[in-house]
Amino acid sequence: METVSLTIDGRPVTVPAGTTVLEAASAAGITIPTLCHDPELTAVGACRLCVVEIAGMRNLPASCVTQVSEGMEVQTASPAVIEARRTILELLLASHPQDCLACDKAGDCRLQDYAYRYGIRSSPFRGETHAYAVDASHPFILRDLNKCILCGKCVRVCAEVQGRSVIDFAYRGFGTRVIPAFDLPLAQADCVSCGSCVAVCPVGALQPKEMQGQGRTWERRKVRTVCPYCGTGCTIELNVNDGRVVGVTSAPDGAVNGRHLCVKGRFGYGFIHHPERLRQPLIRKEKRFVTAGWDEALAYVAERLGRVKATHGPDAVAVLTSARCTNEENYLISKFARAVLGTNNIDHCARL
């Protein structure tokens, strides 16, 4: 493999040819701030926050779209670079709502993080601001275009990863915004509610609706587990606050799915604390269900299954398993049906 040697902040770095400056810096352990870049998506150099200074170049190029070359000398934190980044942040904040105190994205907002890192307390630029109505039409996603920084990550993930192309840039200049076709509410668009746009949004423009007001980011404990809806085995993180699951997020390092989930995996967690969810065994007595202990319920089931098997034979019994069980649990029920009950009448709700 052909390699390229260069220096970044005085450190010698050798990377494969075709690597971008941003990737080379990351490989060397040097962090360059970005808002529009994502390793899974096409690099577009839209936010310009990742600018660097390269010897021999007059301007400050965006590191996410600039490939390394032999002998290149890169400075990622020179005075000119820091000044450029501060100006970019000030321009973004000029039309961005200053409601961090009440924004649910606080603590997980990259714009907020970078403003803190570079000491931006306010913007010297004053002018027109947006006053878009918040789109709450979607059952799972809250869309606030006033907070959108036009990084385009939602557009690219919808088109390049999900293959849906539900949203795109429209209008021009200061009026540019990301919308579905014909500027319809998101609920009326051809959205499959995968939530990938929410997962990649670096600010509070796209947020999960049901997690609003359910605790700050730092108050929520994340418990990693496996999605219960099908056998794919997607990794999910349960966001727990005060002993309750208040939301589900994806894990970037999930072995099967990465950051991406379907609508069930990301938003279908309402059953966990649903008031009608069964929490104790029920036994039918005198034509009505009554609560029973586990020992009583298991003894009752064993007696009834044994009676049916003795009277009508094992094939009078059928077993239906669930996709919400683990593979190991489904194996055990299959073994129980065949080895204990003596029947092959076993089926699975996700077979079709």
pLDDT of residue 327: 80
Whole-number pLDDT of residue 207: 97
What total number of domains does the chain contain?
4
Give yes or no for a contact between 282 and 292, defined as CB atoms under 8 angstroms apart: yes
Q: Are 86 and 150 members of one domain?
A: no
- Looking at residue 141, what is its pLDDT? 97
Q: What is the CATH number of the domain that holds 241?
A: 2.20.25.90
**Spatial CA neighbour of 100 closest among 90, 87, 92, 109:** 109
End residue of a domain, out of 91, 125, 158: 91
Residues 12 and 81 in one domain: yes
Residues 6 or more apart in contact with residue 325 via CB below 8 angstroms: 333
Q: Is residue 108 part of a domain?
A: no
Q: What does the block give as tokens for 306?
A: 């044994």
Distances (CA, A) of 303 to 127, 159, 280, 290, 300: 78, 56, 19, 18, 5
Residues 205, 256 within the same domain: no
101 in any annotated domain:
no
What are residue 317's DSSP bridge partners? none
Read off the tokens for 188. 């009326």
Residues 246 and 300 in one domain: no
Q: How many CB atoms lie within 10 A of CB 319?
A: 17
- The answer to whether the CB of 195 falls within 8 A of the CB of 182 is no
Characterize the bridge pairing of strands 73-75 and 177-180.
unpaired
Asked which of 260, 277, 294 is the last residue of a domain, the reply is 277
pLDDT at 348: 84
Residues 6+ apart with CB under 8 A from 305: 317, 341
Looking at the fold, whether 291 and 338 belong to one and the same domain comes out as yes
Are the CB atoms for 343 and 318 separated by under 8 Å? yes
Query: In the block, which residue shows the tokens 């939301």?
Result: 247
- Quote the percentage of the chain above a pLDDT of 90: 87
Residue 166 and residue 190 in contact, taking contact as beta carbons nearer than 8 Å: yes
> What is the per-residue pLDDT for 231?
75
Q: Do 143 and 189 touch, CB atoms closer than 8 A?
A: no
CATH number for the domain that contains residue 174 = 3.30.70.20
Can you state the angle between helices 79-94 and 110-117, rounded to 10 degrees? Answer: 130
**How much is the pLDDT for 352?**
60
In this structure, the answer to whether residues 273 and 287 fall within a common structural domain is no
49 in Cβ contact with 33 (< 8 Å): yes
Look at residues 272, 273, 292 and name the one whose alpha carbon lies nearest to residue 281. Answer: 292
Give the chain's radius of gyration (CA, Å). 27
* Same domain as 40, residue 56: yes
What pLDDT does residue 324 have? 72
**Among candidate residues 213, 228, 247, the one where a domain is terminated:** 213
Tally the residues of the chain: 352
Q: How far, in Å, CA of 65 to CA of 159, rounded?
A: 20
DSSP string, 224-261: EEE-SSSTT--EEEEEEETTEEEEEEE-TT-TTTTT--
Tokens found for residue 303: 């007696």
How much is the pTM? Answer: 0.86
Are 222 and 207 part of one and the same domain?
no
Q: Answer yes or no: is 81 within a domain.
A: yes
Nearest alpha-carbon partner for 337 in 322, 315, 352, 308: 315
Q: What is the pLDDT of residues 105-159, one digit of tens each?
A: 999 999 999 999 999 998 999 888 999 999 999 999 999 999 999 999 999 999 9
Decide: residue 220, CB within 10 A, 0-12 exposed, 13-18 middle, 19+ buried: buried
Q: Verify that 149 and 187 share a domain, yes or no.
A: yes
97 within some domain: no
Query: Both 17 and 83 in a single domain?
Result: yes
Please tell me whether residues 39 and 85 are part of one structural domain.
Answer: yes
Q: Which helix (H) or strand (E) holds 296?
A: helix 294-312
Assigned domain for 99 exists = no
pLDDT at position 325 is 78
The residue ranges of the chain whose pLDDT is under 70 are 352
Q: Are strands 235-241 and 73-75 parallel, antiparallel or unpaired?
A: unpaired
Backbone angles phi, psi at 321, to 5 degrees: -100, 180
Q: Is residue 195 part of a domain?
A: yes
Query: Is residue 112 in some structural domain?
Result: no
Task: Domain of residue 203: give its range.
Answer: 138-213
What is the CATH number for 32?
3.10.20.740
Query: Exposure of 105 by Cβ count < 10 A (0-12 exposed, 13-18 middle, 19+ buried)?
Result: buried
CA atoms within 13 A on the CB side of 266: 24
Distance CA 197, CA 148 (A): 12
- Asked if residue 121 belongs to a domain, the reply is no
Nearest to 52 by CA among 28, 76, 69: 76
224 and 144 share one domain:
no
